[in-house]
Amino acid sequence: MRYACSWLIYSLRKNVSLNKSSAGRRASISPRGRRLTAGAQLRTALEAERPLQIVGVINAYAAILAQRSGFKAIYLSGAGVANASCGVPDIGITTLHDVLTDVRRITQSTDLPLLVDADTGWDNPRHTVREMIKAGAAGIHIEDQVSAKRCGHLPGKKLVSTDQMVSRIKAVKAGRTNPAFVIMARTDAAASEGLAQAIARACHYRDAGADMIFAEALQSLGDYRKFAEELKIPILANITEFGKTPLFTLKELASAGVGLVLYPLSAFRAMNTAALEVYQAIRKNGTQKGVLRKMQTRAELYESLNYK
Protein backbone atom coordinates (compact mmCIF):
# COMPACT_ATOMS: atom_id res chain seq x y z
CA MET A 1 0.00 0.00 0.00
CA ARG A 2 3.02 2.29 0.32
CA TYR A 3 2.83 3.48 -3.28
CA ALA A 4 -0.96 3.42 -3.66
CA CYS A 5 -1.32 7.20 -3.57
CA SER A 6 1.42 7.75 -6.17
CA TRP A 7 -0.10 5.11 -8.45
CA LEU A 8 -3.52 6.69 -8.14
CA ILE A 9 -2.17 10.14 -8.99
CA TYR A 10 -0.44 8.71 -12.05
CA SER A 11 -3.64 7.02 -13.18
CA LEU A 12 -5.68 10.18 -12.68
CA ARG A 13 -3.22 12.23 -14.67
CA LYS A 14 -3.69 9.91 -17.61
CA ASN A 15 -7.44 10.46 -17.58
CA VAL A 16 -8.08 13.79 -15.81
CA SER A 17 -6.40 17.14 -16.19
CA LEU A 18 -5.23 17.86 -12.65
CA ASN A 19 -4.74 21.46 -11.58
CA LYS A 20 -1.56 22.73 -13.23
CA SER A 21 -2.09 26.40 -13.87
CA SER A 22 -0.67 28.09 -16.96
CA ALA A 23 1.38 30.28 -14.64
CA GLY A 24 2.91 27.18 -13.11
CA ARG A 25 3.74 25.71 -16.52
CA ARG A 26 5.34 28.94 -17.69
CA ALA A 27 7.48 29.03 -14.58
CA SER A 28 8.88 25.59 -15.37
CA ILE A 29 10.07 26.46 -18.89
CA SER A 30 13.29 28.34 -19.58
CA PRO A 31 13.52 31.15 -22.18
CA ARG A 32 15.10 28.59 -24.52
CA GLY A 33 12.12 26.29 -24.16
CA ARG A 34 13.82 23.73 -21.92
CA ARG A 35 12.13 22.50 -18.78
CA LEU A 36 13.78 23.84 -15.64
CA THR A 37 14.63 21.65 -12.68
CA ALA A 38 12.83 22.41 -9.43
CA GLY A 39 15.93 24.13 -8.03
CA ALA A 40 16.26 26.30 -11.12
CA GLN A 41 12.58 27.20 -10.82
CA LEU A 42 13.12 28.42 -7.27
CA ARG A 43 16.09 30.52 -8.32
CA THR A 44 14.11 31.94 -11.25
CA ALA A 45 11.22 32.81 -8.95
CA LEU A 46 13.62 34.68 -6.67
CA GLU A 47 14.91 36.69 -9.61
CA ALA A 48 11.38 37.57 -10.72
CA GLU A 49 9.92 38.45 -7.31
CA ARG A 50 12.00 40.16 -4.65
CA PRO A 51 11.34 39.54 -1.85
CA LEU A 52 9.96 36.17 -2.85
CA GLN A 53 6.92 35.21 -0.82
CA ILE A 54 7.00 31.53 0.16
CA VAL A 55 3.90 30.13 1.79
CA GLY A 56 3.76 26.94 3.84
CA VAL A 57 1.63 24.00 2.73
CA ILE A 58 0.89 20.93 4.85
CA ASN A 59 -0.37 18.62 2.13
CA ALA A 60 -0.92 18.29 -1.60
CA TYR A 61 -4.28 20.02 -1.67
CA ALA A 62 -2.92 23.00 0.26
CA ALA A 63 -0.21 23.25 -2.40
CA ILE A 64 -2.88 23.41 -5.10
CA LEU A 65 -4.66 26.21 -3.24
CA ALA A 66 -1.37 28.11 -2.86
CA GLN A 67 -0.72 27.88 -6.58
CA ARG A 68 -4.26 29.03 -7.39
CA SER A 69 -3.66 32.02 -5.08
CA GLY A 70 -0.72 33.17 -7.18
CA PHE A 71 2.31 32.19 -5.10
CA LYS A 72 5.49 31.36 -7.00
CA ALA A 73 7.06 29.07 -4.38
CA ILE A 74 5.88 26.91 -1.49
CA TYR A 75 7.35 25.43 1.67
CA LEU A 76 7.04 22.26 3.72
CA SER A 77 7.68 22.90 7.40
CA GLY A 78 9.22 20.32 9.67
CA ALA A 79 6.74 21.42 12.30
CA GLY A 80 3.97 20.97 9.75
CA VAL A 81 5.01 17.39 9.09
CA ALA A 82 5.36 16.66 12.78
CA ASN A 83 2.12 18.36 13.84
CA ALA A 84 -0.21 17.63 10.91
CA SER A 85 1.05 14.33 9.51
CA CYS A 86 2.36 12.66 12.67
CA GLY A 87 0.48 14.41 15.50
CA VAL A 88 3.61 15.16 17.54
CA PRO A 89 5.50 18.33 18.52
CA ASP A 90 8.44 19.50 16.44
CA ILE A 91 11.25 18.19 18.63
CA GLY A 92 13.23 16.03 16.23
CA ILE A 93 10.95 12.98 16.37
CA THR A 94 10.08 12.86 12.67
CA THR A 95 12.34 11.09 10.21
CA LEU A 96 13.56 11.66 6.68
CA HIS A 97 11.01 9.09 5.51
CA ASP A 98 8.17 11.02 7.17
CA VAL A 99 9.15 14.21 5.37
CA LEU A 100 9.79 12.55 2.00
CA THR A 101 6.29 11.08 2.04
CA ASP A 102 4.79 14.57 2.16
CA VAL A 103 7.36 15.99 -0.28
CA ARG A 104 6.45 13.45 -2.95
CA ARG A 105 2.73 14.05 -2.60
CA ILE A 106 3.15 17.82 -2.80
CA THR A 107 5.54 17.88 -5.75
CA GLN A 108 3.23 15.55 -7.67
CA SER A 109 0.32 17.96 -7.20
CA THR A 110 1.81 21.30 -8.28
CA ASP A 111 4.40 22.90 -10.54
CA LEU A 112 5.55 25.30 -7.83
CA PRO A 113 9.10 24.84 -6.50
CA LEU A 114 9.09 23.41 -2.98
CA LEU A 115 11.56 24.43 -0.26
CA VAL A 116 11.76 21.76 2.45
CA ASP A 117 12.71 21.95 6.10
CA ALA A 118 15.31 19.20 6.55
CA ASP A 119 15.90 19.85 10.25
CA THR A 120 19.55 19.03 11.02
CA GLY A 121 19.98 16.84 7.96
CA TRP A 122 19.32 13.69 10.02
CA ASP A 123 22.07 11.10 10.31
CA ASN A 124 23.36 11.42 6.75
CA PRO A 125 22.97 14.87 5.15
CA ARG A 126 24.55 13.64 1.91
CA HIS A 127 21.87 10.96 1.59
CA THR A 128 19.18 13.42 2.63
CA VAL A 129 19.87 15.85 -0.20
CA ARG A 130 19.93 13.09 -2.79
CA GLU A 131 16.57 11.77 -1.64
CA MET A 132 15.08 15.27 -1.61
CA ILE A 133 16.17 15.84 -5.21
CA LYS A 134 14.69 12.50 -6.25
CA ALA A 135 11.42 13.43 -4.53
CA GLY A 136 11.17 16.66 -6.55
CA ALA A 137 12.12 19.28 -3.95
CA ALA A 138 13.67 22.53 -5.14
CA GLY A 139 15.84 23.07 -2.08
CA ILE A 140 16.28 22.31 1.59
CA HIS A 141 17.38 24.18 4.66
CA ILE A 142 19.35 22.58 7.45
CA GLU A 143 19.95 24.16 10.82
CA ASP A 144 22.68 24.51 13.41
CA GLN A 145 20.73 23.14 16.36
CA VAL A 146 21.60 19.84 18.02
CA SER A 147 19.66 16.81 16.82
CA ALA A 148 17.19 17.05 19.72
CA LYS A 149 16.01 20.34 18.27
CA ARG A 150 13.37 22.80 19.46
CA CYS A 151 11.07 25.22 17.68
CA GLY A 152 13.11 28.21 16.56
CA HIS A 153 10.92 30.61 18.57
CA LEU A 154 11.14 28.79 21.90
CA PRO A 155 13.79 29.32 24.59
CA GLY A 156 16.41 26.73 25.47
CA LYS A 157 17.75 25.99 22.01
CA LYS A 158 21.17 24.34 21.90
CA LEU A 159 23.50 24.67 18.94
CA VAL A 160 26.27 22.57 17.50
CA SER A 161 29.65 24.24 16.92
CA THR A 162 30.26 26.26 13.80
CA ASP A 163 32.63 23.55 12.57
CA GLN A 164 29.96 20.87 13.00
CA MET A 165 27.44 22.91 11.03
CA VAL A 166 30.01 23.58 8.32
CA SER A 167 30.51 19.82 8.07
CA ARG A 168 26.76 19.36 7.62
CA ILE A 169 26.70 21.91 4.81
CA LYS A 170 29.70 20.37 3.07
CA ALA A 171 28.05 16.95 3.26
CA VAL A 172 24.88 18.34 1.69
CA LYS A 173 26.90 20.03 -1.03
CA ALA A 174 28.79 16.80 -1.72
CA GLY A 175 25.51 14.93 -2.07
CA ARG A 176 23.87 17.47 -4.36
CA THR A 177 23.37 15.76 -7.71
CA ASN A 178 21.95 18.88 -9.37
CA PRO A 179 23.90 22.13 -9.00
CA ALA A 180 20.71 24.22 -9.22
CA PHE A 181 19.23 22.58 -6.12
CA VAL A 182 19.17 25.20 -3.36
CA ILE A 183 21.14 24.69 -0.18
CA MET A 184 19.95 27.02 2.56
CA ALA A 185 21.59 27.20 5.98
CA ARG A 186 19.49 28.18 8.96
CA THR A 187 21.10 29.69 12.02
CA ASP A 188 19.36 29.92 15.39
CA ALA A 189 22.34 31.66 16.97
CA ALA A 190 20.86 35.15 17.31
CA ALA A 191 18.69 34.13 20.28
CA SER A 192 21.49 32.61 22.35
CA GLU A 193 24.77 34.00 21.03
CA GLY A 194 23.78 37.45 19.79
CA LEU A 195 23.47 39.02 16.38
CA ALA A 196 27.19 39.45 15.70
CA GLN A 197 27.94 35.79 16.36
CA ALA A 198 24.93 34.72 14.30
CA ILE A 199 26.25 36.73 11.36
CA ALA A 200 29.73 35.31 11.87
CA ARG A 201 28.33 31.79 11.82
CA ALA A 202 26.31 32.57 8.69
CA CYS A 203 29.43 33.80 6.90
CA HIS A 204 31.11 30.45 7.57
CA TYR A 205 28.00 28.65 6.32
CA ARG A 206 28.02 30.72 3.13
CA ASP A 207 31.70 29.99 2.56
CA ALA A 208 31.05 26.27 3.08
CA GLY A 209 28.54 26.25 0.22
CA ALA A 210 25.19 27.60 1.42
CA ASP A 211 23.37 29.45 -1.37
CA MET A 212 21.03 31.29 1.00
CA ILE A 213 20.71 31.97 4.72
CA PHE A 214 17.68 31.45 6.96
CA ALA A 215 18.12 33.91 9.82
CA GLU A 216 15.80 32.61 12.52
CA ALA A 217 14.01 34.61 15.22
CA LEU A 218 15.39 38.07 14.42
CA GLN A 219 13.52 40.87 16.14
CA SER A 220 14.15 44.02 14.12
CA LEU A 221 14.46 45.21 10.55
CA GLY A 222 17.90 46.48 11.45
CA ASP A 223 18.97 42.93 12.28
CA TYR A 224 17.88 41.71 8.85
CA ARG A 225 19.61 44.64 7.21
CA LYS A 226 22.90 43.77 8.91
CA PHE A 227 22.59 40.16 7.79
CA ALA A 228 21.90 41.18 4.19
CA GLU A 229 24.70 43.73 4.06
CA GLU A 230 27.26 41.32 5.49
CA LEU A 231 26.32 38.10 3.70
CA LYS A 232 25.66 39.38 0.16
CA ILE A 233 23.50 36.32 -0.57
CA PRO A 234 19.70 35.98 -0.23
CA ILE A 235 18.41 36.15 3.35
CA LEU A 236 15.15 34.49 4.37
CA ALA A 237 12.91 36.05 7.01
CA ASN A 238 10.60 33.66 8.84
CA ILE A 239 7.43 35.63 9.50
CA THR A 240 5.66 33.07 11.64
CA GLU A 241 2.79 34.00 13.91
CA PHE A 242 3.05 34.07 17.71
CA GLY A 243 6.85 33.99 17.68
CA LYS A 244 9.71 36.34 18.42
CA THR A 245 9.80 38.06 15.03
CA PRO A 246 7.28 40.89 14.53
CA LEU A 247 4.88 40.46 11.61
CA PHE A 248 6.77 42.80 9.31
CA THR A 249 5.16 43.65 5.99
CA LEU A 250 6.63 42.68 2.65
CA LYS A 251 7.49 46.32 1.97
CA GLU A 252 9.30 46.67 5.30
CA LEU A 253 11.33 43.53 4.71
CA ALA A 254 12.22 44.64 1.19
CA SER A 255 13.60 47.87 2.64
CA ALA A 256 15.87 45.77 4.89
CA GLY A 257 17.31 43.81 1.96
CA VAL A 258 15.49 40.55 2.71
CA GLY A 259 15.36 38.22 -0.29
CA LEU A 260 12.75 35.68 0.76
CA VAL A 261 9.79 35.95 3.14
CA LEU A 262 8.39 32.77 4.66
CA TYR A 263 4.90 32.22 6.10
CA PRO A 264 5.36 28.59 7.21
CA LEU A 265 2.14 27.65 9.02
CA SER A 266 -0.32 30.53 8.54
CA ALA A 267 -2.94 28.55 6.62
CA PHE A 268 -2.46 25.49 8.84
CA ARG A 269 -3.26 27.52 11.96
CA ALA A 270 -6.40 28.91 10.33
CA MET A 271 -7.44 25.42 9.20
CA ASN A 272 -7.08 24.10 12.73
CA THR A 273 -9.30 26.79 14.23
CA ALA A 274 -11.94 26.26 11.56
CA ALA A 275 -11.88 22.48 11.98
CA LEU A 276 -12.20 22.71 15.76
CA GLU A 277 -15.16 25.07 15.45
CA VAL A 278 -16.92 22.69 13.07
CA TYR A 279 -16.28 19.64 15.23
CA GLN A 280 -17.55 21.42 18.32
CA ALA A 281 -20.65 22.70 16.54
CA ILE A 282 -21.57 19.24 15.26
CA ARG A 283 -21.02 17.72 18.68
CA LYS A 284 -22.98 20.42 20.49
CA ASN A 285 -25.82 21.00 18.03
CA GLY A 286 -26.19 17.62 16.38
CA THR A 287 -25.99 19.26 12.96
CA GLN A 288 -23.51 21.15 10.79
CA LYS A 289 -26.09 23.59 9.44
CA GLY A 290 -24.76 26.52 11.49
CA VAL A 291 -21.22 26.27 10.10
CA LEU A 292 -21.90 25.61 6.43
CA ARG A 293 -20.80 29.15 5.62
CA LYS A 294 -17.30 28.24 6.78
CA MET A 295 -17.00 25.28 4.42
CA GLN A 296 -15.68 24.97 0.91
CA THR A 297 -18.45 23.64 -1.30
CA ARG A 298 -18.18 20.45 -3.31
CA ALA A 299 -18.23 22.52 -6.49
CA GLU A 300 -15.37 24.68 -5.24
CA LEU A 301 -13.35 21.60 -4.33
CA TYR A 302 -13.84 20.09 -7.77
CA GLU A 303 -12.94 23.39 -9.41
CA SER A 304 -9.65 23.50 -7.46
CA LEU A 305 -8.89 19.92 -8.56
CA ASN A 306 -10.00 20.65 -12.14
CA TYR A 307 -12.31 17.69 -11.90
CA LYS A 308 -15.15 17.77 -14.38
- Check pLDDT > 90 for residue 95: yes
DSSP-derived letter for residue 3 is: T
Mean pLDDT of all residues in 25-51:
80
Q: Could you state, in order of their start, the residue ranges of all structural domains in the chain?
A: 20-264, 267-308
pLDDT at 190: 95
217 touches 188 (CB < 8 A)? yes
Active site residue 117: yes
**Of these residues, 19, 43, 59, 90, which one is catalytic?**
90
Which entry of 19, 43, 59, 75 is annotated as an active-site residue?
Answer: 75
> Rounded to 10 degrees, what is the CA torsion of 306, 78, 3, 14?
20
61 is catalytic: no
Pick the catalytic residue: 119, 144, 188, 223?
Answer: 119
3.40.640.10, 3.30.420.40, 3.40.710.10, 3.20.20.60: CATH of 20-264: 3.20.20.60
| pLDDT band at residue 306 under the 50/70/90 scheme | very high
Is residue 218 over pLDDT 80? yes
Q: Which of 111, 131, 143, 211 is catalytic?
A: 143
Catalytic residue among 206, 216, 223, 224: 216
- Long-range contacts for 229-236 (Cβ within 8 Å, ≥24 apart)? 229/257, 230/199, 230/202, 230/203, 231/199, 231/202, 231/203, 231/206, 233/206, 234/46, 234/259, 234/260, 235/259, 235/260, 236/54, 236/141, 236/184, 236/212, 236/260, 236/261, 236/262
Please answer whether residues 291 and 277 qualify as being in contact, where contact means their C-beta atoms are separated by less than 8 angstroms: yes
- Could you give the C-alpha distances from 138 to 115, 122, 211, 286, in angstroms and in order? 6, 18, 12, 46
Query: CB–CB of 208/239 below 8 Å?
Result: no
Of residues 81, 99, 100, 98, the one with CA closest to residue 90: 81
Residue 176 known to be catalytic: no
Q: How many residues does the chain have?
A: 308
pTM of the model: 0.89
pLDDT value at 157 more than 90: no
Is residue 144 part of the annotated active site? The answer reads: no
Backbone angles phi, psi at 29, to 5 degrees: -115, 130
Q: For the CA atoms of the chain, what is the radius of gyration?
A: 20
Q: Respond yes or no: is residue 123 known to be catalytic.
A: no
Question: According to the model, what pLDDT value does residue 92 have?
Answer: 82
pLDDT tens digits, 245-302: 999 999 999 999 999 999 999 999 999 999 999 999 999 999 999 999 999 999 999 9
119 is catalytic: yes
